[in-house]
Structure 1
Amino acid sequence: MAHLLLLDVPLALNLLAEILCFADREFYRDFWNAESIQYFWKTWNIPVHRWALRHIFMPMMRNGYSKKSAIVVVFFVSAFFHEYLVSVPLHMFRLWAYYGMMAQIPLSFVTDHVVKGGRAGNIVVWLSLILGQPMCILMYVHDWYLIHYA
């Protein structure tokens, strides 16, 4: 059960807030209505978004880096931690989670500038959630099987 809560951080935070009677429970916003990848990542996990904004994005902006550079670094750090959280328990380093997170950068460009949000943008966001994450998990399952049973 604990490993499922780690995979769904907002669920775990809501459960903990309920148990501790914590009043401020804004752990996510309306991510299901996201018309762009950027909006999805800003609303999916508010505590992580605020941490990345406070400790990575804003310091880079204050030091004269461009907005695009700061966004790429935030996604790089996020991709590193996603890969770390998958690779360590599985004892295999494959970079599938890293690639999945870094693929969000060009996908963000597509939802912002090609389909320009709206219903089509929401469909692209949901397709990335429905197809992208399971594809990464299947790649880890495939590699795990090859390592242990092939």
Structure 2
Amino acid sequence: ADEADAKLRLIKGGGGALTREKIVATAARKFICIADEAKLVKRLGKFPVPVEIVPFARVQVAKQLKKLGGRPVWRKGCVTDNGGEILDVHGLRIRDPKELEKKIEAIPGVICAGIFARRRADLLLLATPQGVRQIKAG
């Protein structure tokens, strides 16, 4: 995960595989996420939200993401395994991750948003200097 909160909602996709990661997470009986303890945050949103898009729709999707308060930046030269492109959306105020995930994914041309709030992790394993810390969904 690029970011995780105490409710096990995540931002993923910094590596560009967010759509496939979301498909696997949704299909999994148990979704276990592994991250460094620095990725645990009080509120999601410091890390830009990756959004996979249909290349033809880049300009239109960017306009809609700006209306949501974000600053989309095209990840130039990045083509996903699905043939999509990625807009990294900076500056979003993520008060309700589940609602924002729905809004972004409802924009025509969006393939997937890197917010994992509708399908949160069941278990978060955090690497710490003292060992592995576990946070379970509750």
TM-score normalised by length of structure 2:
0.29
Q: Tell me: higher relative CO, structure 1 or 2? Use CA pairs within 8 A at least 6 residues apart.
A: 2
- The alignment's TM-score, normalised by the length of structure 1, stands at 0.27
Greater C-alpha Rg: 1
Higher percent of residues as strand: 2
